[in-house]
Amino acid sequence: MIEFKNLFDCIYEEIPKTKEGWLSQRRKGIGGSDAGIIEGVNRYTTLHELWEDKTGRQKRPQVSNHAIEMGNRLEPVMFNLFEALYGDDYEVIDTKDYSLSRKDKEWMRANLDGALIRKEDGSTGILEIKSTTINKWQYFQEEWGDDSMPQTYYCQCLHYMNVTGAEFVVLFAIAMMPWCDETKTIIRRIERSEVLLDLMQLEADEEAFWKKHIVEDIEPNFI
């Protein structure tokens, strides 16, 4: 099995075991969950709140503890399920102990759910695991219809590709739909060659935010 630290040409740091250490490490740069905020597609956090969080002025508002707990409990289950279902196609590599940053832009950071090697061609990729609750059929169609995914997830996947240089991302999600008493797994794939312009745009937007609002410490507008 290939060692994770030999897979991507990045800086590897062990993830702290304490919540305080984890928060401190996260504030060193822009992570995957920050990408959608910078692009204006996150419904729950504003650019101003992100600035307050990154500069230590105020902690970012969190989703419910129940949602966090459920996601944390499901992640290892989903990781093992993906490996069981798709292990013939991918070598699945555990990444949970390390935080990555880009060598030329150390503020670009990534905490991955897993890394992948596609057995067909040997290319390297990323496994992104999500758990979500969808309360209406309309929302499912809007966010997941026609092989799409929520924009916040898309931005997160692009960010991880920009940090690592990965050739692809596989998003593996479990969606709970209480309105029809159903739970289903969803898989989506992104190939680097098909999203080059989006990758460039996201990196430019993140760099502009980092330089203006973090390095120069200019307060964003309240929006």
How far CA 148 is from CA of 70, 95, 189, in Å, comes to: 24, 26, 9
| Residue 36: inside a domain | yes
Angle formed at CA 92 by CA 24 and CA 117, multiple of 5 degrees? 100
Per-residue pLDDT, 82: 98
**Tokens 């949970």 identify what position?**
96
| Residue 223: inside a domain | no
| Residue 185: inside a domain | yes
CATH number at residue 62: 3.90.320.10
**Quick one: pLDDT band at residue 127, thresholds 50, 70, 90?**
very high
| Residue 132: inside a domain | yes
| Residue 222: inside a domain | no
| Residue 10: inside a domain | yes
User: With 80 as the cut, is the pLDDT of residue 122 above it?
Assistant: yes
Q: Whole domain around residue 15: which residue ranges? A: 4-215
| pTM, 2 dp | 0.93
| Residue 220: inside a domain | no
- Taking every pair of Cα atoms in the chain, the longest distance, rounded to a whole number of angstroms, is 50
Q: Which residue has the higher pLDDT, 61 or 177?
A: 177
Long-range Cβ contact pairs of 31-34 (< 8 A, separation 24 or more): 31/109, 31/110, 31/111, 31/159, 32/110, 32/111, 32/155, 32/156, 32/157, 32/159, 32/160, 33/152, 33/156, 34/159, 34/206
**pLDDT tens digits, one per residue of 56-104:** 888 765 655 677 777 788 899 999 999 999 999 999 999 989 999 999 9
**pLDDT tens digits, one per residue of 43-52:** 889 999 999 9
What is the count of structural domains for the chain? Answer: 1
| Residue 201: inside a domain | yes
